[in-house]
Amino acid sequence: MNSLVLLIVTAVAFVFGYRFYSKLLALGVFRLGKDYSTPAPQRPPAGGHGASNRHLIFGHHLASLAAAAAVTGSLISLIWGWIPAFLWLVVGTVTAAGTYGLGSLWLSLRFPGLNPAEIAARLLGSPAHGLFTLLAFLLVLIMNAACAGFAAHLLSAFPSAVLPFGIVTVLALFLGGFLRGRDDFEIIPASLIALTLSLMAVWLLGEFPLSFTGALNFEMAESRVVFDATTVWVILLFVYGYHATRLPMWKLIRPRGYLTALLLGVTLFILYTAVIIDHPKLVAPEFHGGPGIPDTLPWLFITLTSGAVSGFHLLIANGVTARQINGETDARYIGYGGALALGLVALSAVIIGGTGFAGTPEWIQHYASWEQLKDLRTVFELYINGFAQLAAGLGLDRAFARTLATVVVLGLLAATLEAGLRIQKHLLTGLTERYPSFIPGKEKNLIGIAAGLSAALALYSGHGRGALLWWPLFGVADQILAVLGFALLGLTLWRMGRPVTVVFLPLIFMLVAANWALAVLMMQWWAADDWLLFALGVILIVTELAVTLLSLIFMKSSSRPQT
């Protein structure tokens, strides 16, 4: 199969989805209003958010959406063949992910200033607050630890990207200061200058690798702690995340995410240009399976989340994006459009994973078993090297292309880490308001708690791999959060007398897939005596059952308005 066909089919589906389906959602379901006021224009910029240009917000939103997870999920999902991965990517993005992305922003704007746990408490009662907070905090904890661990590995494995990555961060700081209070038309020239300087940094500074060598060993009794390059990078990333989260969003986090999105756009342009010109052939089989490979159902829907539908997107929309939006109608462009852009990132990974081998035998050898793909760090390396190979076909220097892809992936991981720490801060703030004597209420303390717990998980097993211990739980927890997010959307629409079918259909589908996978994992954890993961799985089940019961009580006690 020609990879160009995949690009054409995706482009047609995404254009159709945005032109027609998102319009149906915006006008017929969520009924976005131009006159509906949002909190961002009234929030002073010194408070950390403030209204901003919607293109700037779009870029930051895209970079924060765990786009790096879309890369890993798409590459891993190819283990079942390119047809299942491609179909779920396209169909899931246009229908479920687009609806969830637009709906999450709409829900957050309809409950301004409230995090998802507080929205759940407003709709379902106080018990829902603790349940949502626990699930969301656990999910973000794993995501933060994973992002820091993966970024630390890439900084160690690709030292040529260290200096360019740092320069991009510095440029973002200047860009944020320049754009503050400027008119919208000034964004374009400022963006072009910042993007050009970033590409020059990749080109020039990529020739000067920066790395840590050696290791520091601490031995106490029977325990041993090793401080190697990866460990140092994890610590530095969380120190950066702590200070970046304390800054107003306009100063660093927003422009850095936006600049990363611009670099991502350049990367995708290069990749898809290579596909159009060279149209590499897919060497991955249409379907694939065998010993050591899990069944396609339900694992495809658990593995390929970002790029299809991910519960984490509700947290990003609520904790980061909705607090910056000027008007409710922007939710279609940013929410649904962001889901489509993330789908293009996922498609790039499918094409790289499907074409980046000499032939089908080499591909089968790489995808021979599930165990070979568990080390997600090597999955990132496959994407980076595969992009460099395609870019080299256009005449670009392979080293430059490799450094560019690494800087982009690092930027996406850092943007997700920044967003995750900010989300944890909002969740902990909600707890301090309910339990002021239990958790210290100062912002720096809350951010410190979030960064400290995330760093502890990342460093738990050494070498920044702690999150991988809980990673099997992440996919299921992410889908369960998506189910609960769809539930909040459906209940709010139900209360307002609006159509709920487009929300409840993906809810039911994801409910079956997530619990099917969770049941299989629970049996595996029980057989392996992995009681920690088993206990966390029980918490997920209890949370689901409790929210389901509260939702049924809500629907029974609430009269649905007639429209």
Residue 223: band (very low, low, confident or very high) from pLDDT cuts 50, 70, 90:
low
The residues with which 218 forms a beta bridge, in sequence order, are: 225
Task: Name the token pair of 472.
Answer: 């099997």
Contact 507, 483 (CB under 8 A): yes
Using an 8 Å Cβ cutoff, are 506 and 96 in contact? yes
- pLDDT mean across residues, the chain: 89
For residue 203, pLDDT over 70 is answered with yes
pLDDT at 488: 94
Task: Name beta bridge partners: 226.
Answer: 217
Minimum mean pLDDT among 268-272, 368-372, 456-460: which range?
368-372
The yes-or-no verdict on residue 41 having pLDDT over 60 is no
Whether pLDDT at 370 is above 80: yes
Cβ-based neighbours of 454, under 8 Å, separated by 6 or more: 141, 144, 145, 148, 238, 420, 421, 424
pLDDT of residue 46: 41
Residue 98 has pLDDT above 50, yes or no: yes
Grouping H, G, I as helix, E, B as strand and the rest as coil, residue 216 is: strand
- Three-state secondary structure call for residue 429: helix
pLDDT at position 462, please? 65
Query: Pick from 486, 428, 151: which is nearest to 310 by CA?
Result: 486
Q: Give the separation between CA 107 and CA 220, rounded to whole angstroms.
A: 51
- Produce one character per residue of 382-416: b if its CB has 16 or more CB atoms within 10 Å, e if not: bbbbbbbbbbbeeeeeeebbbbbbbbbbbbbbbbb
Q: Is the pLDDT of residue 188 over 50?
A: yes
* pLDDT average, residue stretch 416-421: 95
- Report the pLDDT averaged over residues 461-480: 82
**Residue type present at position 77:** S
**pLDDT-derived band at 53, boundaries 50, 70, 90:** confident
Asked which of 61-70, 126-135, 177-186, 207-216 is least confident by mean pLDDT, the reply is 207-216
For residue 110, pLDDT over 80 is answered with: yes
3-12, 62-71, 290-299, range with greatest mean pLDDT: 3-12
Mean pLDDT of 322-342: 92
Number of CB atoms found within 10 A of residue 187's CB: 18
For the cut 90, the answer to whether the pLDDT of residue 307 exceeds it is: no
DSSP 495-547: HHT---HHHHHHHHHHHHHHHHHHHHHHHHHHHTT-HHHHHHHHHHHHHHHHH
> Which class for 193: exposed (0-12), middle (13-18), buried (19 or more C-beta within 10 A)?
middle
Tell me the two tokens of residue 80. 């079942």
Cβ 339 vs Cβ 101: under 8 Å: yes
Give the whole-angstrom CA distance, residue 183 versus residue 31.
29
Dist. CA 186–CA 50, nearest whole Å: 18
pLDDT at 244: 94
Q: Is the dihedral of CA 18, 24, 29, 35 positive or negative?
A: positive
Look at 67-71, 339-343, 346-350, 538-542 and tell me which has the smallest mean pLDDT. Answer: 67-71
Q: What is the pLDDT of residues 231-263, one digit of tens each?
A: 889 999 999 999 999 999 999 999 999 999 999
The answer to whether the peptide bond before residue 294 is cis (omega within 30 degrees of 0) is no
Q: How far apart are CA 530 and CA 489, in angstroms?
A: 35
Cα gap 369→374, rounded to integer Å: 10
- pLDDT given at position 154: 93
> Which single residue is written with the structure tokens 């959602």?
25
Which helix (H) or strand (E) segment holds residue 217: the answer is: strand 216-220
Percent of the chain clearing pLDDT 70 (strictly above): 92
Percent residues over pLDDT 90 in the chain: 67
- Please state, in angstroms and rounded to a whole number, the distance separating the CA atoms of residues 401 and 388: 5
CA–CA gap between residue 55 and residue 254 (Å, rounded): 11
> Taking 90 as the threshold, does the pLDDT of residue 412 lie above it?
yes
Residue type (1 letter), 365: Q
Lowest mean pLDDT among 100-104, 165-169, 376-380, 503-507: 376-380
Nearest to 251, CA basis, from 45, 457, 103, 559? 45
Position 331 pLDDT exceeds 50: yes
Helix or strand holding residue 338 (H, E): helix 337-355
Contact 470, 292 (CB under 8 A): no
Q: At what angle do helices 531-557 and 501-527 cross, to 10 degrees?
A: 150
pLDDT at 45: 44
Q: How far is CA 496 from CA 461, 499, 563, in A?
A: 49, 9, 9
Residue type, position 142, single letter = I
| Residue range 9-14: mean pLDDT, rounded | 97
Which pLDDT belongs to residue 442? 80
Which range is least confidently modeled, 59-73, 177-191, 330-344? 177-191
The residues, any chain, with a CB within 8 Å of residue 212's CB and separated by 6 or more, are 156, 228, 229, 232, 233
CA distances from 149 to 307, 461, 471, 485 (A): 21, 11, 12, 28
Both tokens assigned to 275 = 């596909």
> How close are the terminal C-alpha atoms of the chain, in Å?
49
259 contact partners, CB below 8 Å, separation of at least 6? 59, 168, 171, 172, 175, 191, 194, 195, 198, 411
Cβ–Cβ < 8 Å for 376, 150? yes
